Chains A and B, each alone.
Chain A
Amino acid sequence: MSDKNIKVRGIATLVIVAIALFFLIPSVTQKLPSVWKDHTDKIHLGLDLQGGMHLVMEVETEKAVESAMERISNDLKETLMEERVRFKHLDREGGAVVTLELPDKESRTRFEKILKNNFPNLDIKSSETTNGIEKVYLKIKDKQVASIEEFALEQSLETIRNRVDEFGVSEPEIIPQGKDRILIQLPGIKDPQRAINLIGKTALLEFKMLDEEHSVDEALRGDVPSGDIIAYGYKVGSETGQRTKIPYLLKRKTLLTGESLEDARVSISNRFGESYVSLKFDSQGARDFERITAQNVKKRLAIVLDGVVHSAPVIQERISGGNAQITGNFTMDEAHDLAIVLRAGALPAPVRILEQRTVGPSLGQDSIDKGILSIIVGSILVILFMVMYYNLSGIVADIALSLNIILILGALAAFKATLTLPGIAGIVLTIGMAVDANVLIFERIREELRLGKSPRAAIAGGFSKALLTIVDANVTTLIAALVLFQFGTGPIKGFAVTLSIGIICSMFTAIFVTRIIYDYFVWDRNIKRVSI
């Protein structure tokens, strides 16, 4: 190998190290020219190091299918009535199945025709005939169900993104997972519970009329008039502070939903200093609201949020202009968050928390400090040992080791990988294992020297014989690390990442870089003895 070759390899190494430093230095100090800072990122810390919340939510997509079925069955009922098809007991029977009874052949034929022409998304699941009356079970077509579920996930994702954005979290991560899950990472969040409430609220706002012709008490005894539902509201006693549950009898039909909103803001009432949320409808919503209020003057309109009646004021007169308000005993924060969720829109289906992990900032800092301490202690021990055991060659290995750490950290910053606590453990482990490649090479060189070879031949032999072993041994660890990457979530992924990067960097430094140093001494300086 020629002298020139050493220079080329040396320069290549310097360039690589310079690039690593370019990406790494911004993580160490802030005092840099802005050109530099603008093009690089600090090493991204995982939630377990910087503190924050990790959430996995499940979108109950089957509920979205159910509510789609609810809408379709209402349409079906209206169409059948318009077409004067005879039918009885059209009901949604738990879940997304609708049943109805057809008294004779003729209505069955006409029903099927309507189904085919107007409701292409419905399938007859089964039917049974008793005493000449046919009971038909309807369901939504599988393909349509799949697309409703898919849409529900997409829409939930979008809605949650909007809510989180408005809540003001820096660098949130909100990504779908599988068919019905959403992974949410909120770094540095101060009040986890409030964030959960904000994200997890369905926020389905509905306007329904009260049924004032029937008695609530009778309905509560089990005699709910058809087309009605019972919903509850809460009243907080102004003096006692006790919450009492108040039942309402509502018309099932929803007149208007939160979808028609253009804006929602927090306001404070002049009289009592109470917080409330003022709503503004979009133009269609405003027209609908005006029509509804005009038709129902002196009747009570219930404002229902997620099934809970917030208020049921009497409509005094037709309301034009499209403004309304939700009152209730809100704290300022509650009103503020309610306004956010109403602005961002309702979730198409309820969500459930499957997994929640919150790490406080002080624990994160603790972990960072302890992780760094472990790295330092581990490195010093290994560095000292290598010098003791291999003398000058040990120093060569130590140089490689130091470069290795710089490269790992540089790579983490450059690839925007996330450093986690297990990730730090991965770096520590790599330090121990990185010298392995050099140990393999050095032991080989020693063997060759014992056979009486010249330093030049011993070094060449040592490197070439150890090379394949090193690659084979590292590839297997790499396989384990890659599997881990596939399997892992958050912190574990961080471990897989640093371990993989560490393995690759260590092969480079231990094989390529140390070889340059040896070649320089053997070819340029023509040394006669290897200190190993």
Chain B
Amino acid sequence: MEIIRPGINIDLIGKMKIAAAASLLVVIISILSLILHGGPNLGIDFAGGTLVQIKFSQETSADRIRDSLKTIDLGNSVIQRFGYHDNNEFLIKTEKSSSALKGLSNKIEEALNSSYSNGDFEIRRVEVVGPKVGKDLREKGMLAMLYAVIGILIYVTWRFELRYAVGAVIALLHDVLITVGIFSLLGKEFTLPIIAALLTIIGYSLNDTIVVFDRIRENIKGTRKQPLKDIVNSSINQVMSRTVLTSFTTLLVVLALFIFGGAVIHDFAFALLIGVLIGTYSSIFIASPTILVWESVSPSKEKRGK
């Protein structure tokens, strides 16, 4: 079986400008969304606060929960359905994390007991993150991204050349930015697992990019006459089959995770889903063209045909 026919030779580089324009547009939309929303929508991991996950044995509504929480001054919290509708699970989120909320889950239990009968609900998860820890995690998360990018820059420079490394890093920044942008547009929250997902996307996007680079490097060694542009184009085409296949198998498993993995890792799987798609796109349309742009700005010493 073959999906991508051998000998395929699409003029991808010719479509470079369209792709660059499209990417730029999406990146700008992402940045705009982030600015308009006042930065990413931070979950309690980073903003500090309290989250309580409650499962009810019978159908109920956010309003009813809110009513019962008014007695303990939590009527203003965010109350939202969690997971599928018939799960009857809800999340209660509040910005507060102070010591005044000590024993919060007990308080909530008592408050709910007044309007639900005991045993009708179960507190399944409580997370309290103080503002200090939130700030720490925010800084650590940013640093982790930075270190990952630097580490990758060094490795790719060592194994290839600086221009490849720059191409790879631009591509992965593109991927991360767009994923963050989509999260912002959809109003999804940033939590610790999402940082993990972003780092995985970085790794994955690179994986794809390296495979293309590897072929470019191999083809450059083989021919001296061809213009770099053609080499890049044919290299991408040669590995196209693999790129599509791997993205497909990875998408299969991420979809399995997205559909069956449960509400707790739903957003995590969603981030990976976006990441895999964009990562595949960027290794073709962003990473490799960067090498060409670099070449036109500062040509390498090797002489090759125009």
Contacts and interface: CB of A to CB of B under 8 A. Distances in A.
A481 interface: yes
Given A385-B249, A429-B253, 9 more contacts: A193-B106, A196-B103, A360-B123, A360-B124, A381-B252, A432-B251, A439-B245, A484-B148, A484-B199
Contacts of A28: none
A218 B127 CA distance: 46
Contact of A354 (B132, B156, B207): B132
Determine which residue in A196, A425, A492 has the highest number of CB atoms from chain B within 10 A of its CB, and name it. Answer: A425
A119 B158 CA distance: 58
23 contacts: A48-B264, A360-B124, A363-B264, A370-B260, A370-B262, A374-B256, A422-B265, A429-B250, A429-B272, A432-B249, A433-B250, A436-B246, A447-B6, A469-B214, A474-B207, A475-B155, A476-B207, A479-B151, A480-B200, A484-B148, A484-B200, A486-B144, A492-B192
Contacts of A354: 129-130, 132-133
Contact of A487 (B6, B140, B206, B264): B140
7 closest Cβ contacts across the A-B interface? Answer: A477-B203, A480-B203, A378-B253, A432-B253, A487-B144, A370-B262, A432-B250
Interface in A460-500: 465, 468-469, 472-484, 486-489, 491-492, 495-496, 499
A235 interface: no
B254 interface: yes
B101 to A, nearest CB: 10
B89 to A, nearest CB: 9
B23 interface: no
B79 interface: no
A477 B196 CA distance: 12
Interface string B104-138: 01100000000000000011111111101100000
Contacts of B125: 357-360, 363
Interface in B142-178: 143-144, 147-148, 151-152, 155-156, 159
Contacts of B211: 440, 469, 473
A488 B195 CA distance: 9
Interface of A: 48, 56, 58, 192-193, 196, 352-360, 362-363, 366-367, 370-371, 373-374, 377-379, 381-382, 385-386, 388-391, 421-422, 425, 428-429, 431-433, 435-436, 439-440, 443, 446-447, 450, 465, 468-469, 472-484, 486-489, 491-492, 495-496, 499
Contact of B210 (A373, A433, A473): A473
Contact of A358 (B126, B238, B248): B126
A477 B199 CA distance: 9
Nearest to A200: B102
B242 interface: yes
Contact of B155 (A48, A378, A440, A479): A479
Interface residues of B, number: 73
A465 B99 CA distance: 61
Contacts of B106: 193
Nearest to B269: A425
A382 B99 contact: no
B249 A489 contact: no
Contacts of B132: 58, 354
B210 A425 contact: no
A503 B206 CA distance: 14
B53 interface: yes
Contacts, number: 224
B268 interface: yes
Determine which residue in A196, A488, A499 has the highest number of CB atoms from chain B within 10 A of its CB, and name it. Answer: A488
Contacts of A359: 124-125
B75 interface: no
B202 interface: yes
A422 B253 contact: no
A471 B203 CA distance: 13
A374 B249 CA distance: 14
A476 B203 contact: yes
B43 interface: no
B195 A492 contact: yes
Contacts of B207: 433, 436, 473-474, 476-477
B32 interface: no
B204 A477 contact: yes
Determine which residue in B53, B130, B254, B265 has the highest number of CB atoms from chain A within 10 A of its CB, and name it. Answer: B265
Given A473-B211, A487-B140, A435 B249 contact: yes
Contacts of B105: 192-193, 358
Nearest to B261: A374
B153 to A, nearest CB: 10
Contacts of B239: 443
A360 B53 CA distance: 10
Contacts of A432: 249-254
